[in-house]
């Protein structure tokens, strides 16, 4: 079997002139953003020398929920979560939402 001929469903739809619904596109962007945020949280937690449990205590959430955030599995992303993360990790959270583009998230560390 030649796997090089396999295509993702969205690639087939695009090739056939179809596209994803706006709801699917929005959900895909939310997932992409959650994964990016999760990586930022993980990197900052490690840089601060915190365990999942210690960060969870700072955030007021369970250790498993911290792991879920780091894995990009805590959806939807809320303003409340971003504010709590900024406080717990001592960072500024920059969230950029662009019409027709991909949203991005970044952390800026506070000066010591």
- When comparing pLDDT for 100 and 25, which is higher? 25
Architecture of domain 20-109: Orthogonal Bundle (1.10)
Cα–Cα distances in angstroms (integers) from residue 90 to residues 32, 44, 47, 64, 68, in the given order:
23, 9, 12, 21, 20
Helix (H) or strand (E) run with residue 92 in it: strand 91-96
User: What is the predicted pLDDT for the residue at 95?
Assistant: 86
Total residue length of the chain? 112
pLDDT band at 111 (very low <50, low <70, confident <90, very high): low
Mean pLDDT, the chain, rounded, equals: 85
What is the reported pTM? Answer: 0.76
Q: For 35-76, how does the pLDDT look when each residue is reduced to its tens digit (9 = 90+)? A: 999 999 999 999 999 999 999 999 999 999 999 999 998 777
Give me the mean pLDDT over the 16-42 stretch: 84
Question: Which of 36, 56, 43 lies closest to 109, judged by CA?
Answer: 43
């Amino acid at each position: 079997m030649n796997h090089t001929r396999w295509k993702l469903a969205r690639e087939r739809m695009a090739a056939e002139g179809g596209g994803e619904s706006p709801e699917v596109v929005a959900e895909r962007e939310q997932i992409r953003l959650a994964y990016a945020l999760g990586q930022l949280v993980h990197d900052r937690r490690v840089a601060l020398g915190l365990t999942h449990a210690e960060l969870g205590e700072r955030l007021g959430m369970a250790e498993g929920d911290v792991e879920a955030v780091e894995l990009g599995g805590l959806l939807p992303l809320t303003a409340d979560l971003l504010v709590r993360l900024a406080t717990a990790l001592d960072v500024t959270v920059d969230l950029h939402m662009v019409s027709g583009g991909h949203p991005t998230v970044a952390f800026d560390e506070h000066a010591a």
